Amino acid sequence: MTDQKATLNIGEESYEFEVRQGSVGPDVLDISSLYKQSDRFTFDPGFTSTASCESAITYIDGDAGILLHRGYPIDELAENGDFLETCYLLLYGELPNKEQKADFVHRVTNHTMLHDQMIKLFSGFRRDAHPMAVMVGVVGALSAFYHDSTDITDESQRMVASMRMIAKMPTIAAMAYKYSVGQPFVYPRNDLDYASNFLHMCFAVPAEDYQVNPVLARAMDRIFTLHADHEQNASTSTVRLAGSSGANPFACIAAGIACLWGPAHGGANEAALNMLTEIGTPDRIPEFLERAKDKNDPFRLMGFGHRVYKNYDPRAKIMQQTTHEVLGVLGKTDDPVLDVAMELEKIALEDDYFKSRGLYPNIDFYSGITLKALGFPPEMFTVLFSLARTVGWIAQWKEMIEDPKQKIGRPRQLYTGPTKRSYVSLDKR
């Protein structure tokens, strides 16, 4: 809290508001009493200048290209730790010691199986259904099976539901993939680490033994860490708003998955790879850059730009390194899509239209190339994003539920429709 005050003058009226200071980042004007004081609302579609909550989980400095999880820089977590360690950090606020980490890994490992009756849900989908449609449906259906962890007022049930979702998302994601390619489901294995287990469930077949490449498993794990949480983005805000009504955690996460699907958000990794594939060769880049600048053309450079980062997305740098590492291990360094991506990035970063608007590659620009090299089809990319982001959604949902000041989110509006008028009978219209 600061002792500063903000004064709003409207004509002869004057209103005062508290200025609140966080541990780092912009101060906020607490305008929660504005409507009561002035009979007026603020107006901020897209929430470009609005802080929706108080949070201690993730901090982003968009101009400096900084991303901290509970104070730890994303590059240090991605390079030195692993995904489950980051999950623990996001949920509990501190990095785990040896015993805490072993216990957390054990709890996650022993919640990876699905209720066997859930397997029947998959057969209700068309084989060519987008796997994100399957994820929304099956994750939402968890609330039909795990009634012993849907009482959000019970702390132990909140933690059980959290562990179940972190543990079961890889199983559900792998099953969505297997179902789409017509292969049998592969059950989770407790002798494999989180990322290896996921790759095994995706790419093993009953006909032969499947050894997970440890370098690829490490890359997969790092990709999960890069996607774990990102402050109050659209899907996290969706989860918070759904949770503010008291909806059960499984339903809230399903709402987050639905929001993440959009191409302006988590769907951008699939859209970015499809765009790079459509460009095809570096000589076609200028044509697409012109389209991206043309206000009459809805085409956007997918994987570029960000609501917060007006500098380089720190995750994109690590993602780019991981891309080169994976392509190197797989002997695919001659992937033409990578050539287009690197040339496109180079040209765009020198182009005034992109520089003047702070449009830089975001995490989605390179992730698609890496995931394609790992063997995933483009329609699975956002599924993997939702798998990793589940812990962030859960950590933010728990923080909201455990905030004693929490209340249902209910924005207002600027009404521009018809004022009151009387009904006109059908014979007079």
Q: What are the residue numbers of the active site?
A: 306, 364
Q: Which of residues 271-300 bind ligand SDX (CB under 6 A)?
A: 292, 300
For the bound state, the minimum distance from the C-beta of residue 364 to ligand SDX, rounded and expressed in Å, comes to 5
Q: Number of residues in contact with ligand SDX, rule: CB under 6 A?
A: 20
Q: Which of residues 335-394 bind ligand SDX (CB under 6 A)?
A: 357, 359, 362, 364
**Beta bridge mates, 14:** 9
- Beta carbon nearer to ligand SDX, 201 or 255: 255
CB atoms within 10 A of CB 204: 20
Distance CA 343, CA 158 (A): 47
For the bound state, the minimum distance from the C-beta of residue 363 to ligand SDX, rounded and expressed in Å, comes to 6
Q: Taking CB under 6 A as the rule, which mask of x and - marks residues 307-326 in contact with ligand SDX? A: xx------------------
- Beta carbon nearer to ligand SDX, 91 or 289: 289
Is 302 a binding residue for ligand SDX by CB under 6 A? The answer is: yes
With tokens 């996650």, the residue in question is 108
Q: Structure tokens of 342?
A: 């690197």
Q: Per residue in 48-65, is it b (16+ CB within 10 Å) or e — as a string?
A: eeebebebebbbbbbeeb
DSSP 193-259: -HHHHHHHHHH-BTTB--PPPHHHHHHHHHHHHHTS--SS-HHHHHHHHHHTTT--HHHHHHHHHHH
The letter for the amino acid at 288 is: F
**Among 132, 169, 174, 268, interactor with ligand SDX by CB under 6 A:** 268
Is 270 a binding residue for ligand SDX by CB under 6 A? The answer is: no
Q: Find the angle CA(372)-CA(81)-CA(263) to the nearest 5 degrees.
A: 35
Q: Taking CB under 6 A as the rule, which mask of x and - marks residues 218-257 in contact with ligand SDX? A: ------------x--x------------------------
For the bound state, the minimum distance from the C-beta of residue 258 to ligand SDX, rounded and expressed in Å, comes to 14
Selection from 316, 318, 317, 335 nearest residue 374 by Cα: 335
Query: Using CB under 6 A as the criterion, which residues of the chain lie in contact with ligand SDX when the complex forms?
Result: 230, 233, 264-266, 268, 292, 300-308, 357, 359, 362, 364
